[in-house]
Amino acid sequence: MPTVAVPPQVPRVLRLTRTILLVVALALVLSACVTPALNAADYRDKALGSAEAATSEVGTAKLVCGLLLRERVLQSTADETLGASEDALGSISDSLLAVQPPRGADPIYLRLATQLDRAESAVRDARIAARRSDTDALVDLVGRMDTILADLAATEELLA
């Protein structure tokens, strides 16, 4: 009599664990991807998110510059915080540029791309000035960042 090979049964606990791990992996992928902008409204949402994130980083850099001028922050902490803000602005800019703007969204794209470029440049200059302990440059940069923050706020208002 021929024997039928019975596939080994996977224990229920292992199957459940495998399912949970798959769900977790899927959630990680879904929450970490830069999704495409399907329409103008979607693009505006992404642009608004970028403007808000940029405001946060420029605000951080301005706060650190102010603390450096009042000698209330350690050089190492200021240096690292400014470096992190600069890196974050680079990522924000890259993420926005990676999204294809839909028809009619060019004015938003150009406006925000310019502002992000200015923001990144100002924060980079702030990091350099902080490392050189150049107080005159830091004073100038605080003013420059005020202007950038005002422009970003206007963009956020436009997109909201």
> What long-range pairs does 79-86 form, CB within 8 A, spacing at least 24?
79/127, 79/130, 79/131, 82/123, 82/126, 82/127, 82/130, 83/127, 85/57, 85/58, 85/60, 85/61, 85/123, 86/57, 86/61, 86/120, 86/123, 86/124, 86/127
Distance of alpha carbon 44 from alpha carbon 157, whole angstroms: 11
Nearer to other proteins, 2 or 11 (CB): 11
110 touches other proteins (CB under 8 A):
no
Site for other proteins contains 80 (CB under 8 A)? yes
135-159 helix and 106-132 helix, angle to the nearest 10 degrees? 160
> In the complex, what is the shortest distance from the CB of residue 56 to other proteins, in angstroms, rounded to a whole number?
4
Residue 59 beta carbon to other proteins: minimum distance, rounded to whole angstroms: 4
- Could you tell me the smallest distance in angstroms from the CB atom of residue 103 to other proteins? 25
The residue (of 52 and 134) whose beta carbon lies closer to other proteins is: 52
Give the number of residues in contact with other proteins, rule: CB under 8 A: 37
12 binds other proteins (CB under 8 A): yes
Residues that bind other proteins (CB under 8 A): 11-13, 16-17, 20, 23-24, 27-28, 30-32, 49, 52-53, 55-56, 59-60, 62-64, 67, 71-77, 79-81, 84, 88, 160
